Amino acid sequence: MKLNFILLTLLVMVSAHHVSAQKQKDKKRVATEGKAATADSAKWKKENYIINRDSAYANPRVGLQKLISGNRRFTEGKSIRPRQDSSIIKKLSTGQEPFAVVMSCSDSRVPNEMIFDQGFGDLFIIRTAGQVSAEASFGSIEFAVLKLKSKLIVVLGHTECGAVAAAVEKPQNPPGHIVALINAIKPAVAKSANMPGDPVANAVRQNVIEQVNQLRELEPVLSRKYTASEILIVGAVYDIHTGKVEFLPETISNLPSPKKTAGKH
């Protein structure tokens, strides 16, 4: 009799545990489905500044807005960390279509995908200290434009850049190949020398502007495509204190007219 009572008690406990576990699974499923439904809603997309990725790949002006919106999410603590799961990794194994090329500084405080809230396959990134370009950098950008059909190129500098600061300070006999970085940034330092305000901050902005102009004039690929409005080349500065990216008016106020679509006037 006592044994039967113990067995009955154990059965009740097991049954209760099973019901509880099932309830937790149901609750988790409902929460997941609710989250998915919310993520698909127009209201959610509007509140989180979501811009269609295919449209960003097809139109560099939409791509620019997608980067601006992603950085806005990042600075407001709304990052959605898109396209960062195993299914995307498998999908991209057959090819890539990055909607933007970013020529960025190597600084570890400027993680491009994070500050723009993008994921795998979204950004084609070339990084050097002071985002200084050389033949390999030019070839990498041209590869993205010609082979991957990327239409937006962003030169991204950042505040308090060490490479720019070195060019401003003009150290004697810099070691190794660091002198190559300093020499490449010197023209921007010279142009900004008489500007009011902080000399490094001024040189950072001017360095980005100089690099944008350099890419816009780079023959034979970029200059022709830029003039024909097939690509956009713009510049921006990331603030390491706030996380905000400022697209420089000097590089976006004089863009070539959008390329006309066939059949439209």
Residue 5: its pLDDT value, please?
54
Q: How far is CA 173 from CA 93, 161, 170, 184, 231, in A?
A: 46, 20, 9, 15, 40
Mean pLDDT of the chain: 89
**Model pLDDT for residues 5-30, shown as the tens digit of each residue:** 554 555 545 455 554 655 565 555 43
Distance from C-alpha of 235 to C-alpha of 253, rounded to nearest angstrom = 11
Distance from C-alpha of 207 to C-alpha of 188, rounded to nearest angstrom = 5
pLDDT at position 238 over 70: yes
Identify the band that residue 61 occupies on the pLDDT scale cut at 50, 70 and 90: very high
Identify the band that residue 45 occupies on the pLDDT scale cut at 50, 70 and 90: very high
**Model pLDDT for residues 134-160, shown as the tens digit of each residue:** 999 999 999 999 999 999 999 999 999
Distance from C-alpha of 73 to C-alpha of 240, rounded to nearest angstrom = 16
Q: Residues 176, 137, 61, 226: is their CA dihedral positive or negative?
A: positive
Distance from C-alpha of 222 to C-alpha of 55, rounded to nearest angstrom = 22
Domain ranges of the chain: 42-252
Residue 254: its pLDDT value, please?
84
pLDDT at position 262 over 60: no
Do you find a cis peptide bond into 220, omega within 30 degrees of 0? yes
Class of domain 42-252: alpha beta
